[in-house]
Amino acid sequence: MIRIKIDVLPRLKENGYSTYKLRKDGILSESTIQKLRERKVVSFETIDWLCGTLDLQPGDIIEYVKCDSNDKYDYLPITTDKKETAIEKQEECDKFKQQIAAPYRSNTDNKDDGVVPW
């Protein structure tokens, strides 16, 4: 799973881009700002703009975290401000898998059996 690994909003503010200015000037939408707050994935265009504005590389902003239910960690070694327990991480991965699988389910099959179609 790809996720945002740094909190970019304080860095943007240091560079003169408050959330108000980002919205007012049409630079980022409220939904994109909310995704950044929650460290959820944003578009490549947003990552491109962040890299140019903050003089960063994509790897400074995003990271790949393996979703594997067989991993046994007290916490996952993720480069963020907080350490998540393995249970919290697995719940996040399961939710992500369900979101990906949703378009592949037929309209008549609304059950959630946790099976991903690949």
Burial 56-79 (b: 16+ CB within 10 A, else e): eeeeebbbebeeeeeeeeeebeee
- Percent share of the chain, pLDDT over 70: 66
Higher per-residue pLDDT: 108 or 97: 97
pTM (two decimals):
0.57
Mean pLDDT, range 34-59, rounded to an integer: 93
Give the per-residue pLDDT at 87: 66
Calculate the average pLDDT of the chain: 77
Give the per-residue pLDDT at 75: 41
